[in-house]
């Protein structure tokens, strides 16, 4: 019996043999992850890691029972004690659960700016850019309701993408107001759509009663046309929400972060209020959102904590790495060994094995070919691992206490003694 990987998920390999799967090569992930850790630290966010599953109720309560994630996409199962558990479909709810459970909401001086780099699980219909396991870089800034907090988080995300070298970015923002403003808007939108209800796509018809704002997100061309003239949520904002949004916009302008107002942007999770945003790339297809987020002021209270405002975003690493390759930005080369030792014969093997250990103790990346294959094969291996140097060591080399250190790229050889090898390689690192 042959085993295959489950549908909608993928391996991240040292190098994916499929040229189209280049984005699944581990060194790209490690590079992006290193920049995430660096920039998050610079902006004052601390890492948090929550478990891979939580109680199902947590996600239902926070994401919303009528959302696509909760109705169609959660990996929910019962454990042996019949508890309903769900593989994490998103990061906000678990971070807040932890924040409240550890009573961080009660201590004024605790960490309240978090970032995470975690896998998420959603049972999605298979298509480009949508996976059943994806990886998110997310941040959650808890406790501040000023527009500056919104912009600090948006700036972090935008600067991160720029630091990766991405250029074809569009930041779209909108305000969806507070609960009562949304309620009024919801009513006005339904009134506007009612006469055309029968002509809406089946999906939008389903959303009409349960979640009409999501109709604004519809990709159906007829729905989209109809929505062009729909009432706009900004026109329903009262003074406080309006001022907040205007301040966010002017603060973005002051940082020279270009943005577009998108009155149809509502996001697919129920917990948002006021500012919502997404950053898209022209290099992606239909699933063009690199990430998005917004303000979710009522959620901590909803989950049993204090009434604290919050703002955050989540960004998909798969789409980010794919965009980097499509935009042909700088990408690091895989880490390669400094030296491959190729012994010929038993005595050389013993000597090389000792050298291997000594060099590694000095933090030099060395490999040794243990096989009894022909030299031709061993040299082919040296090529494939892209080692910087090769040293072939046989009886003569042992007898003369000297060998040739060959630089693979230039083909240059230099003769050195066993004793001077370590210093020679250390000098190289300086
Ligand atoms: P989200 O928009 O559902 O938001 O996901 C954030 C990002 O994760 C998306 O923009 C996309 O890049 C990526 N993503 C989502 N689903 C998939 C998938 N199936 N395959 C590949 N990539 C995917 C959230 O999850 C919110 N928790 C973000 C947030 C944090 N809001 C406030 N704080």
Q: What is the tens place of the pLDDT at every residue in 246-274? A: 999 999 999 999 999 999 999 999 999 99
Atom of ligand 1 nearest to the CA of 93: 27
pLDDT tens readout for residues 150-187: 999 999 999 999 999 999 999 999 999 999 999 999 99
Q: How confident is the model at residue 429 (pLDDT cuts 50, 70, 90)?
A: low
Q: Is the CB of 92 under 6 A from ligand 1?
A: yes
Strand order in the sheet with 53-55: 53-55, 84-87, 76-78
> Which two three-digit tokens encode residue 23?
């984005």
* DSSP bridge partners of 120: 134
Closest CA to 283 of 160, 173, 167: 167
Report the 10 Å Cβ neighbour count for 109: 5
CA of 268 to the centre of ligand 1 (A): 9
Phi, psi at residue 381, to the nearest 5°? -65, -45
Helix (H) / strand (E) containing 85: strand 84-87
Residue 137 CA, ligand 1 centroid: distance in Å = 9
90 lines ligand 1 (CB under 6 A): yes
Per residue in 60-93, pLDDT (tens digit) is: 999 999 999 999 999 999 999 999 999 999 999 9
Pocket test for ligand 1, best of 72, 75, 90 (most atoms within 8 A of CB): 90
- Dihedral sign, CA of 302, 217, 260, 327? positive
Residue 346 has pLDDT above 90, yes or no: yes
| Ligand 1: centre distance to CA 92 (Å) | 10
Distance CA 122, CA 97 (A): 20
**423 CA to middle of ligand 1, Å?**
49
What is the pTM (predicted TM-score) of this model?
Answer: 0.94
Q: Please indicate whether residue 295, judged by its CB atom, sits closer than 6 Å to ligand 1.
A: no
Q: Which atom of ligand 1 is nearest to the CA of 293?
A: 31
Mean pLDDT score across all residues of the chain: 95
Are 298 and 321 a contacting pair, CB within 8 Å? no
Is any atom of ligand 1 closer than 6 Å to the C-beta of 89?
no
What is the Å distance from ligand 1's center to 266 Cα? 14
Would you say residue 278 has pLDDT above 70?
Answer: yes
289 Cβ inside 6 Å of ligand 1 = yes
């Amino acid at each position: 019996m042959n085993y295959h990987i489950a549908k909608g998920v993928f391996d991240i390999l040292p190098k994916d043999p499929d040229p189209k799967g280049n984005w699944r090569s581990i060194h790209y992930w490690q590079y992006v992850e290193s920049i995430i850790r660096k920039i998050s630290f610079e902006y004052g966010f601390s890492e948090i890691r929550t478990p891979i599953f939580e109680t199902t109720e947590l996600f239902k309560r926070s994401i919303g029972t009528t959302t696509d994630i909760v109705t169609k996409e959660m990996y929910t199962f019962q454990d042996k004690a019949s508890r309903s558990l769900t593989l994490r479909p998103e990061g906000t709810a678990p971070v807040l659960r932890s924040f409240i459970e550890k009573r961080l909401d009660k201590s004024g001086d605790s960490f309240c700016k978090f970032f995470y780099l975690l896998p998420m699980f959603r049972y999605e219909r298979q298509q480009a850019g949508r996976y059943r396991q994806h990886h998110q870089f997310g941040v959650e800034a808890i406790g501040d309701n000023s527009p500056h907090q919104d912009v600090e988080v948006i700036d972090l995300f935008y600067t991160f993408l720029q630091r990766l070298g991405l250029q074809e970015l569009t930041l779209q923002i909108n305000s969806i107001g507070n609960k009562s403003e949304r309620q009024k808007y919801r009513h006005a939108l339904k009134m506007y759509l009612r006469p055309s209800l029968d002509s809406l796509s089946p999906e939008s018809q389903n959303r009409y009663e349960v979640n009409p704002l999501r109709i604004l997100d519809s990709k159906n061309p007829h729905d989209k046309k109809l929505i062009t003239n729909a009432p706009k949520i900004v026109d329903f904002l009262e003074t406080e929400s309006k001022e907040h949004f205007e301040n966010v916009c002017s603060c973005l302008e002051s940082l020279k972060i270009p943005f577009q107002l998108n009155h149809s942007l509502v996001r697919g999770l129920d917990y948002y209020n006021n500012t919502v945003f997404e950053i898209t790339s022209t290099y992606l297809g239909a699933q063009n959102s690199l990430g998005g987020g917004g303000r979710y002021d009522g959620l901590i209270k909803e989950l049993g904590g204090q009434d604290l405002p919050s703002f955050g975003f989540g960004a998909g690493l798969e789409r980010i790495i794919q965009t980097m390759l499509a935009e042909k930005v700088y990408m690091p080369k895989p880490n390669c060994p400094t030296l491959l030792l190729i012994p010929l014969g038993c005595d050389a093997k013993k000597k090389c094995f000792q050298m291997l250990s000594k060099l590694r103790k000095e933090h030099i990346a060395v490999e040794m070919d243990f096989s009894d294959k022909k030299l031709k094969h061993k040299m082919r291996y040296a090529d494939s691992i892209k080692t910087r140097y090769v040293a072939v060591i046989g009886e003569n080399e042992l007898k003369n206490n000297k060998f040739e250190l060959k630089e693979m790229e230039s083909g240059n050889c230099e003769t050195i003694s066993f004793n001077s090898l370590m210093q020679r390689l250390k000098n190289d690192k300086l």
